[in-house]
């Protein structure tokens, strides 16, 4: 429970850098405290059962025991209602969102996320007011926000169909690269000078690492993914003599298809 008027939070996420930054973000807040972090599912579950926190932030993709398994155990123990559960994950597609509705989830957001925004959501949940009233204020997003949400879900579903593993870093970079290129297709023409640096800045990494991770993600899908879906989508647009597409070819093809599908004006 709350000690010294502090609201206690447990973070369960395999990304140690993320948990460290999030813990510091909460430390800088009034009345919020991260009392523990875990980087695998088993440790996370043990902490939740032992510490009795006010809020639990869980990623779905975890070593040893995934996020859904943690939720299953919390339901079995009949304690999932004892605290607020917030899901932060890069693996939030339409199917997963529907599945999460079977649990007592208080809020979920797709990574990458603005930690300040997550902190605000925790404070909102802590106010213990009627969330339907809050929803009336925010449930009517702008047309642009609504469109972006739909496009992000469609990109996620497409990458899943291709067979790009969601647990590799290149998955996040590739998804972001496609989304940014849908908004501005010219970014693909400046992939090294503009697109990679923008993604690198967002994830606090280096451009060459973004390039390598995306190339690896495409390679994995091309060699071990859904060959039928890939062939159906790319057809003969990629020469058989060349093999798998370059990063720019892959991103440009997917982004252009989304622009045409959504009747977006080419820049």
The domain that holds 28 is classified in CATH as 3.40.50.2300
- Give me the pLDDT at residue 132, please: 43
Please report whether residue 2 resides in a domain: no
What tens-digit pLDDT sequence spans the chain (267 residues)? 444 567 899 999 998 888 998 998 888 877 888 999 999 999 999 999 998 888 999 999 898 899 999 999 998 888 888 888 999 888 777 777 778 878 878 888 888 778 888 888 888 886 644 444 434 443 444 455 556 677 778 888 889 889 888 878 888 899 999 999 988 878 888 899 999 999 998 888 899 999 999 999 999 998 888 888 888 888 755 545 457 889 999 999 999 888 887 666 544
Please report whether residue 206 resides in a domain: yes
Is residue 89 located within the same domain as residue 209?
no
Q: How far apart are CA 133 and CA 152, in angstroms?
A: 27
Is residue 180 located within the same domain as residue 129?
no
Is residue 132 located within the same domain as residue 11?
yes
Is residue 221 located within the same domain as residue 254?
yes
- Give me the pLDDT at residue 59, please: 93
Identify the domain boundary among 138, 161, 192. 138
- Give me the pLDDT at residue 205, please: 86
Is residue 153 located within the same domain as residue 134?
no
Is residue 36 located within the same domain as residue 70?
yes
Identify the domain boundary among 88, 104, 138. 138
Is residue 20 located within the same domain as residue 121?
yes
Structural domain count of the chain: 2
Is residue 42 located within the same domain as residue 90?
yes
Q: Which long-range contacts (CB under 8 A, 24 or more apart) does 170-174 make?
A: 170/213, 170/214, 170/215, 170/216, 170/217, 170/218, 170/220, 171/90, 171/217, 172/90, 172/111, 172/112, 172/203, 173/199, 173/203, 173/210, 173/213, 173/214, 173/217, 174/214, 174/217, 174/218, 174/250, 174/251
Is residue 156 located within the same domain as residue 66?
no
Under 8 Å between Cβ of 166 and 61? yes
Is residue 177 located within the same domain as residue 126?
no
Confidence (pTM): 0.53
Please report whether residue 177 resides in a domain: yes
Is residue 50 located within the same domain as residue 150?
no
- CATH number (domain holding residue 198): 1.10.10.10
Under 8 Å between Cβ of 122 and 55? yes
Please report whether residue 37 resides in a domain: yes
Enclosing domain of residue 184? 143-261
Please report whether residue 150 resides in a domain: yes
Please report whether residue 208 resides in a domain: yes
Please report whether residue 1 resides in a domain: no
Identify the domain boundary among 85, 109, 138. 138
Is residue 28 located within the same domain as residue 91?
yes
């Amino acid at each position: 429970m709350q000690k010294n008027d502090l609201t206690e939070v447990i973070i369960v996420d395999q990304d140690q850098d993320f948990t460290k930054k999030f813990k510091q973000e909460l430390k800088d807040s009034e009345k919020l405290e991260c009392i523990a972090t875990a980087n695998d599912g088993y440790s996370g579950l043990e902490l939740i059962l032992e510490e009795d926190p006010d809020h639990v932030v869980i990623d779905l993709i975890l070593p040893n025991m995934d996020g859904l398994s943690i939720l299953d155990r919390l339901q079995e123990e009949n304690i999932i209602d004892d605290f607020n559960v917030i899901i932060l994950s890069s693996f939030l597609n339409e199917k997963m969102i529907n599945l999460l509705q079977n649990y007592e989830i208080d809020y979920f957001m797709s990574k990458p996320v603005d930690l300040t925004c997550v902190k605000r959501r925790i404070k909102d949940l802590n106010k213990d007011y009627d969330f339907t009233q809050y929803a009336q204020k925010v449930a009517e997003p702008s047309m642009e926000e609504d469109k972006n949400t739909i496009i992000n879900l469609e990109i996620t579903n497409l990458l899943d169909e291709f067979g790009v593993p969601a647990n590799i870093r290149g998955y996040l970079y590739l998804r972001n690269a496609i989304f940014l290129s849908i908004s501005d297709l010219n970014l693909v023409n400046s992939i090294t000078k503009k697109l990679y640096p923008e993604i690198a800045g967002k994830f606090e990494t280096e451009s060459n690492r973004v390039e390598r991770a995306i190339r690896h993600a495409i390679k994995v899908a091309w060699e071990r993914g859904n060959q039928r879906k890939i062939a159906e989508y790319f057809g003969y647009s990629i020469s058989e003599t060349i093999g798998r597409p370059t990063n720019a070819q892959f991103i440009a093809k997917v982004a252009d298809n989304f622009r045409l599908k959504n009747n977006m004006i080419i820049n």
